Amino acid sequence: MSRIKVRQHVNPLSIIYKESLIPPDWSVVYPGLTAPIHLDIGAAYGRFLLELAQHNPDWNYLGIEIREALVTHANQKRDDANLTNLHYVFGNINTSLATLLASLPTEKLRRISIQYPDPCFKTRHAKRRVVQPELVNDIARYLPSGGEVFLQSDLEWVAQEMCDRFSENPAFRRTQLEWIEPNPLSIPTEREVATLNKGLPVHRAIWVRE
């Protein structure tokens, strides 16, 4: 896949990412709005959803990404592949999740994935991490019972910290205590490929909305 030049990281707390996104008209985006929806948070170049959308035409796939150039690139790749069950939006999940979910036919929302979120190593940058209690509350509010949240990271402490946030919310139940092996979604993300190529472990968990 060709690479475009983009900033390595952005600060989601910066003033320029404070505005909530304006959702599109989903009935224009997806011709088949009755299909189950999978939302991928931090979709990057979008290769993961592109492959899933090709494999599962009966699902609608939506990616959100804070680096706008990647969103433009991913939607171009979607158009090149003539896919109508895939879309990417530019936005900061920490300011846009509630707006985004409220705009969707959430009875169709079946899965949310958060994969290899930026670790933001420094303790003083902890507020930049994607999985905050507010995000878990918003997911609890909109994800129907039985819907799942798929989490993974190469860094065990990052995966554990995401799990800690979900375990603090009584709306969620973890499907198994051990890290999940192999990947039940079968399509690896870009970071997952890099991790597996280095022979490093991946830490995965699924949380189900009660």
118 is an active site residue:
yes
> Given the rule CB under 6 A, which of 72-80, 112-120, 136-144, 162-170 is the region that contacts ligand SAM?
112-120
Q: How far is the CB of 205 from ligand SAM (least distance, A)?
A: 15
User: In sequence order, what are the beta bridge partners of 111?
Assistant: 38, 148
Please choose, from the candidates 139, 151, 43, the residue with its C-alpha nearest in 3D space to the C-alpha of residue 90: 43
Q: What is the per-residue DSSP string for 47-113?
A: HHHHHHHHH-TTSEEEEEES-HHHHHHHHHHHHHTT-SSEEEEE--HHHHHHHHHHHS-GGGEEEEE
**CB nearest ligand SAM: which residue?**
42
Cβ–Cβ < 8 Å for 89, 24: yes
Calculate ∠ Cα 89-51-166, nearest 5°.
60
* C-beta atoms surrounding 3 within 10 Å: 7
Q: Name the DSSP class of 151.
A: E
51 interacts with ligand SAM by CB under 6 A: no
Residues 121-150, one symbol each (x = binds ligand SAM by CB under 6 A, - = not), give ---------x--------------------
195 interacts with ligand SAM by CB under 6 A: no
Q: How far is the CB of 31 from ligand SAM (least distance, A)?
A: 26
* C-beta atoms surrounding 83 within 10 Å: 16
- Select the residue interacting with ligand SAM from 66, 109, 143, 159 (CB under 6 A): 66
116 interacts with ligand SAM by CB under 6 A: yes
Residues 11-30, one symbol each (x = binds ligand SAM by CB under 6 A, - = not), give -x------------------
67 interacts with ligand SAM by CB under 6 A: yes
Query: Which of 118, 138, 154, 164 is flagged as catalytic?
Result: 118
Please choose, from the candidates 93, 178, 170, 103, the residue with its C-alpha nearest in 3D space to the C-alpha of residue 132: 93
Residues near ligand SAM (CB under 6 A) are: 12, 42, 44, 64-67, 92-94, 115-118, 130, 189-192
Residues assigned a catalytic role:
118
